[in-house]
Amino acid sequence: MIIFLSFLLIYQFINLQIFQRQYYTTLSKKNQIDFSPIPPRRGLIFDRNGVLLADNIPAFSLMMTPNKKDEMQKTIAELSKIIKITPDDIENFNKQAKQHRRFEQIPLKLKLTEQDVASFSTNRYRFPDVSVQAALLRTYPLSNAMSSVLGYVGRINEYELQYVDTTNYAATNFIGKLGIEKYYEKELHGTVGYRQVETDASGQTVRILKNIPSVSGKNLYLTIDSRLQLAAQKALGQNHGAVIAIQPSTGQVLALVSNPSYDPNLFVNGISQKDFNRLQHDPAHPLYNRTLRGLYPPGSTIKPFIATEALNANITNTEFTLFDPGWYKLPNSSHVFHDWKPGGHGWVNISKAIIESCDTYFYDLAHKMGIDRIDDILGQFGFDKPTGIDMGEELAGNIPSPEWKMKNRGLPWYPADTILSGIGQTFMQVTPMQLATATATLANHGVRFRPQLLFATQADDEQIIYTHPITETPVVLKQDIYWETIINAMQNVITEGTGYSFGHPSYSVAAKTGTAQVVNSRENDNAADNIPIQLRNNSVFIAFAPIQNPKIAISVVIENSHDAIRISREIMDSYLLNPEQDIAHATTRPAQ
């Protein structure tokens, strides 16, 4: 038996050292040589003037390699005695551990203090599977003011791992979740690098054999003017609503503000359940981007767009007048459609109808045009689909038609539906972004541009590459005088019409006011004390200035308040009269 076992042992020696020598030599080298991924630096984000909007700050993170569950819990418990580790830290770590391979290190706690680093360093020998690593974390200097544009980055979740390039994200724990951060994730992320290192038996690095550097993400310059963005947020104050400002000649978005908003910095490190519940259950819905997803009846702001088709199709002209007694009836119908002004506007032509926002005139105009013509012209101005802005998340709004009503409501289309569509009520809904782009088109006499947020890109040590305006199918009228008729009437909205409270600025401005009912009640004028705030009318305002060479077009939608005109005036004054005003507490870098 001893001789047999001895021969067996000798055979195994020969088998391992001769016949399987190459195999075990390779395994030995694999244990000795390791590939360590190098994370790329995420690209920075600036506004059009070089103001820094999204930065990377250096921070130390506590990294841990997942092991057996009992051992992990014991290690975390011991770490908690020297570093404060919260239940949220542990929960985030456990989520990440399920999404990564066992030998990959995962952040247990981000943004360690100097005291945390010192405490861990003195106890390093007790935790072989734990290390402190330096990393760059995202930060947003302008906080709430830019959340509706930038969105935020957050930890990669299991769903996102299914469609990202896991090789390129081998050293990345964060990914864009919303806004610009998500839409331009590919450009911002960069390319992972690798370091080939020689390790000892304990896994510690002995020397670096080969280094493939990572490629940083591109820096982005946005079309946003952060000075105007802050001015819009300040003008909104406590009001709930949205502001869009566009440069008509290019389609570049100058300001995009949804109010109330949230602090995107909360999401970077993994938002606590308490903070998330507070935001999610806030009745003001701060996480809801009203600029792109808010659906509102446009009210009377839709009238100038309908009027262009009425003139172009010769359904009306500047000489035709209609007497408005304060109400309107369809032929052979007893139903009364009331004007917002009980006594009526008297004799009204198309210009006066826009200036004084005469509902009766547009009731009659809608009846003569029919819903197909109304839908067609509104579609030409882009109200029937998303604008295509480079941020995603956008809703299309709704321009109702007989087909839509039958499909969604199971009811036929009635003449009353057409009448109410003429004043932007009934089933009609638009987004503030659609209103702003249509207003810019009106300012351009029908020339349309797709709204853009990307102004330029810049790779490391390379020149800035600027984007070009993207044109859309224009709105073409038979005569340019029709544009002049509409725009002149909109100018008089400010000087002698419903927009008189805008005042008399030093620049020329064309505008249109609108009121969108939240509930169907003629008595709901936002002034009655017995009407709850959430049931009061929304105010809508569109404008562009100066008239001859438009530099800005805006749409403002304010929920349950009449403040849209005041807010619009403050925003336009800020942009046109105070262009050199500084931004407090903002880091600036000169744009090239």
Catalytic residues: 300
Contacts for 270 with CB less than 8 Å, ≥ 6 apart: 88, 89, 92, 110, 154, 155
Residue 397 to residue 375: CA distance in whole angstroms: 13
Residue 428 falls in which region: left (phi positive, over 0), alpha (psi -120 to 50) or beta? beta
The pair of three-digit structure tokens given for residue 51, joined into one six-digit string: 């103001």
Residue of 418, 394, 402, 428 lying closest to 302 (CA atoms): 428
**Phi–psi pair at 267, nearest 5 degrees:** -90, -15
Contact 560/535 with Cβ under 8 angstroms?
Answer: yes
Biggest CA-to-CA distance, the chain: 123
The pair of three-digit structure tokens given for residue 573, joined into one six-digit string: 């004054």
- 538-545 and 552-558 beta bridge pairing: antiparallel
Residue 418 to residue 421: CA distance in whole angstroms: 5
Residue 491 to residue 483: CA distance in whole angstroms: 12
Task: Kindly tell me the sign of the dihedral angle through the C-alpha atoms of 483, 337, 397, 279.
Answer: positive
Q: How many CB atoms lie within 10 A of CB 85?
A: 18
Bridge partners, residue 588, by sequence: 51
Contacts for 260 with CB less than 8 Å, ≥ 6 apart: 240, 282, 284, 285, 286
Reported as type and span, the H/E element at residue 205 is: strand 205-212
Q: Which residues of 213-230 are buried (b: 16+ CB within 10 A; e: fewer)?
A: ebbbbbbbbbbbbbbbbb
Specify the 3-state DSSP secondary structure of 556.
strand
* E strands present in 105-178: 106-109, 130-139, 152-155, 174-178
Bridge partners, residue 109, by sequence: 62
Q: CA angle at residue 218 from 217 to 221, to 5 degrees?
A: 140
Q: How many CB atoms lie within 10 A of CB 448?
A: 20
What is 319-386 written as a DSSP string? S--EEE-SEE--TT----EEPSSTT--EEE-HHHHHHTT-HHHHHHHHHHH-HHHHHHHHHHTTTTS-
* Integer-rounded Cα radius of gyration of the chain: 31
Residue 180 to residue 186: CA distance in whole angstroms: 11
The pair of three-digit structure tokens given for residue 135, joined into one six-digit string: 């990393």
Specify the 3-state DSSP secondary structure of 236.
helix
Place of tokens 């403050």: 570
Q: 371-380 vs 359-369: helix axis angle to the nearest 10?
A: 100
Q: Which residues of 477-487 are buried (b: 16+ CB within 10 A; e: fewer)?
A: beeeebbebbb
